[in-house]
Structure 1
């Protein structure tokens, strides 16, 4: 297939889709792609709970010369299909979808940037790989090439970790499934600003960009550009369930043998300072970068947030 990519063309992403499956049926997952599609060095950037792959536009523009940058809209969000059964809006389904996307991309080298939910998906993927490696029969004995394996390279976890603040999750749960609509785009911008104070300071143009892909004009109104049913399994997560899942996430996190860059909003109510320090203690490959004046979560829209991530990903 002839590539339509023009070297140096990084202003806007290309939109494509991959067919995935859930227990209830099939669904298309959209993904935004930057850089040379023939580049087998892939950076997969995965967004937070109610966001889209377009959250990474500024970071992608900086890295498109070095990577094939791929930013999916997780199912139920943005340009992706909605699931038939809302009970499947959970991390294991998202992990399965990412494996399908990765098979499409066929990277030689795969690095990961995950904001909030996107970081949980990354840890879930790592955990699945580790468990599979323990349980799988030896490939050599089956006549399979031993080098045809997938492993994550560098990993950026943006304001997320194995230990989560229940108070922070409860705050997010309050607005996720709220069926709200607005008469004007400006009203939608004001709403996003009000529920996303943790994103830190942005000018009016910045808040408009942060609204543009998560609200959609339908008839004469602006409505949330995601399936409100994503709130259903999210709301079922009691404090006991969350604590029980932490051991699985810690095991996945501790199994990471590649460099980890922990980005934390210094005022975050989801990833506490104590949890971040424990992450440093429990994986020697991790380093921590605190973003002042920001809560949950840094948006990677300014040079002071983008440059440390770029430096980490590109350093030898």
Structure 2
């Protein structure tokens, strides 16, 4: 496991965080499971490919298809701005939270310590849910299946929304003249402060080449974070809930501050999580009852 950790750290430093391709990301995770359980025979390690390759391929299709999601309709912009102004204008002086936060916290050319934290929180989106899923796969395939069903359904719901309701984030709205106050896209600024320029370059390339710039509604960054937390809340003591919930809240601040999302995107993302847990939970109970009746 130590060898894997060293190789991963070196690769991250020189190449970047392996987020641009699901096949590469899951390749690293597969190697991690091999290093973690090196005592198992190879046929056991090959089970990872059986269970995970279809999911990785589906994520590849998801990444490719969402890039075309804005071809059907013009992106929605002003209604998102008005929603955030309506919710927070009383506090921000009529501005959207993104512009207010950047005016108070962001200094061009200077990387503050909190921007390092913000960047780490931002990039955790690409690593946290897959890592949690792999750990569940190692420990309990039944729990892994429950987690995957919710994750996959959430991605499908989000992708459908991107096609029928393309929505532009704050940085896009500013660049196209919909926001008068300056907004910078600063989600990867923190890498420079800790010397991981390669990681930042990889994410910047991913943002430019492989993403849909008007896929802001819902925010799957916060939706994934909330889904991962909500999955474990029923089995965690309530005194630990604030610690778990701090993660999606930190992701929310990160996305709004860095110009990636409006607050309304986040709230809709959380609503999608609730809907997914309800729909998938009902489906699981229906299937369980059907199996019992047929037994």
Place the TM-score, normalised by the shorter chain, in its bin. under 0.3
Instruction: Select the structure that is richer in helix.
Output: 2
TM-score (norm 2): 0.27
TM-score (norm 1): 0.25
* Structure having the higher Rg: 2
Instruction: Select the structure that is richer in strand.
Output: 1
